[in-house]
Amino acid sequence: MHMFRRFDKPGRPRRPSPKRPAVTREVFEVRIEKMVQGGEGMARLPDGRVCFVAGALPGEFCKVAVTFTKKDFARGHVVEVLEGASPDRVEARCPLYGKCGGCSLQHLDSEKQAEYLAQVERENFRRIARIALPESFTVHTGPAWGYRNRARVVVVCDQVGDKPIVRFGFRKQESNSVALFKNCPVLTPALNEFLQGKAREIFAGKFRPGREMEVNLFDNGSGEISYYYEGMPASEFNENAISVAEICGKKIETDASVFFQSNLALLPALVKSVRDAVDEGVANGEASDEWLIDLFSGVGFFAAMLEDKFKRVTTVEREEKCLQHAKVNLSVFDGDKKAATIENVSAPAEEWLARNVVDIPATLIVDPPRTGLPKEALDAIADSSVNRLIYVSCHPVTLARDTALLAEKGFKIRRAEAFAFYPQTPHLEMMLVLTR
Ligand SMILES: C[S@@+](CC[C@H](N)C(=O)[O-])C[C@H]1O[C@@H](n2cnc3c(N)ncnc32)[C@H](O)[C@@H]1O
């Protein structure tokens, strides 16, 4: 009793420990009904509960190890495909498949992944938003491997005698442990080359032996690698974290500490779709070329790609560091017409929208983080004169939720496209055009 009291905060009642899902080792034989969000197969256990099965494909009859259960669902993974192996099943290419927590879709033929994920998103929209995605909904695809130009890796430093040993790994999902790798097949060749060569020199001696440090890496598409770690001195940051990527003929400044798109090979397809969506809105009168508002603008990426079409451009981004880059990206003349007035704001997008009256049919583009649009932002959009919204999202579940809320305010899906930015993983980038 005394032992427990010592650790209690005085005057505060002890909180009951949170209920953990029961960990089990049970094995079942089940038929996989379909693929669901997250890339898992969905099956029913003999007691009727839904079970999400990693590594399974629709139609397969599998032996499944259930690893944890809750009252209404369970999770597990395939032990063996007993019968009806999917014709789309392939051997996983990476030795870390199932271990590092990334690339959980490697057992599915790369050529088929977009088709499966499109089906998952169609169902997400029906289930979450009660709205059907248009028939024309398509997924743009790019390289299946060697595409990822941005990554967070764990640098593991050790010492044997007086010789520093530097290794690299990924933090496993929902775990603190590290899966070490020598070559990651989804990273760009330039990033792999950097990790196998120069990175060892850079990080040897920088971090104390026995220490693990998370480092952000960015390949600007021309083979130049920039990096960032917490506590990086300013001089090293200026020299090694900042870089410039050329996208659709425009130079975009960024740094390895902030968000940037991670599939440069497919990014021009998204830029083209966004530019087409803007042109269509201006041409049909639903939006105007008076004002472009780019919310959750990061380094001002979409604004920089679109500014030649507008008289006034506003970017809104919470991260102060992004704002500095946005100022550069929207003020350096590199060939195209510039917007007449440019305003870069550092503020939460929802607060900016609530404070500023948007009383003309401005063109609005939003690209929020995985959590989607905050409620205040959705309300402010509904109360504004915006009749055409371009919504770019890296998380179709929150996109479907927000679409349902915007539909209550009169918005309808005019156009839906997806971009296979993250092959071998169940993630998909989407762009919706919503009008009212
Ligand atoms: C998915 S990124 C998009 C960035 C940019 N559109 C691009 O393509 O590079 C989301 C951005 O929103 C910013 N962010 C997150 N919450 C925000 C908020 N409440 N208000 C403004 N910006 C926010 C993040 O810092 C991040 O830069």
> pLDDT digits over 174-232, tens only?
778 999 999 999 999 999 999 999 999 999 878 878 888 999 999 999 989 999 999 99
Q: What share of the chain is helix, strand, coil (3-state, %, to 5)?
A: 25, 30, 45
How far apart CA 127 and CA 133 sit, in angstroms, is 11
Pick the residue whose CA is nearest to atom 18 on ligand 1: 348
What is the spatial distance between Cα 407 and Cα 229, in angstroms, rounded to a whole number?
42
Ligand 1 neighbour 367 (Cβ under 6 A) = yes
Q: Could you give the CA distance from residue 118 to residue 47 in angstroms, rounded to a whole number? A: 30
Asked whether 298 lines ligand 1 (CB < 6 A), one says yes
Ligand 1 closest atom vs CA 299 = 9
Strands (E), 301-375: 312-317, 341-346, 363-366
Residue 302 in contact with ligand 1 by CB distance below 6 A: yes
CATH tag, 150-255: 2.40.50
How is the chain split into domains, by residue range?
A: 1-89, 121-144+264-435, 150-255
Q: Is ligand 1 within 6 A of the CB of residue 375?
A: no
Q: What is the mean pLDDT of residues 254-269?
A: 98
Give yes or no on whether 1-89 and 150-255 have one common fold: yes
Domain 1-89: CATH superfamily, name plus number: Nucleic acid-binding proteins (2.40.50.140)
pLDDT tens digit string along 106-136?
999 999 999 999 999 999 999 999 999 999 9
Query: Which of 302, 328, 299, 325 lies closest to 313 in space, CA to CA?
Result: 302
Q: How far is CA 52 from CA 35, 55, 66, 367, 424, in A?
A: 9, 10, 9, 29, 18
Q: What is the pTM of this model?
A: 0.92
Question: Does residue 229's CB lie within 6 angstroms of at least one atom of ligand 1?
Answer: no
Beta-bridge mates of residue 255: 242
Q: If you ran DSSP here, which 8-state letter would residue 162 be given?
A: T
Which protein residue has the closest C-alpha to ligand 1 atom 8? 301
Q: What is the pLDDT of residue 328?
A: 94
177 CB contacts (<8 Å, ≥6 apart)? 171
Q: Which residue's C-alpha comes closest to atom 15 of ligand 1?
A: 369
Q: Which atom of ligand 1 is nearest the CA belonging to 316?
A: 21
Task: Provide mean pLDDT across the span 242-261.
Answer: 97
- Ligand 1 centroid, distance to 427 Cα (angstroms): 18
Q: For the segment 387-424, what is each residue's pLDDT rounded down to a tens digit? A: 999 999 999 999 999 999 999 999 999 999 999 999 99
Angstrom distances, CA of residue 67 to CA of 25, 289, 302:
6, 54, 43
Residue in 92, 32, 27, 28 with CA at minimum distance from that of residue 60: 32
Strand-strand pairing, 412-419 and 429-435: antiparallel
**Ligand 1 atom 19 nearest Cα:** 348
pLDDT for residue 338 is more than 70: no
Q: Which CATH number fits domain 121-144+264-435: 1.10.150.450, 3.40.50.150, 3.40.50.620, 3.40.50.970?
A: 3.40.50.150
Angstrom CA distances, 21 to 15, 68, 366, stand at 18, 6, 36
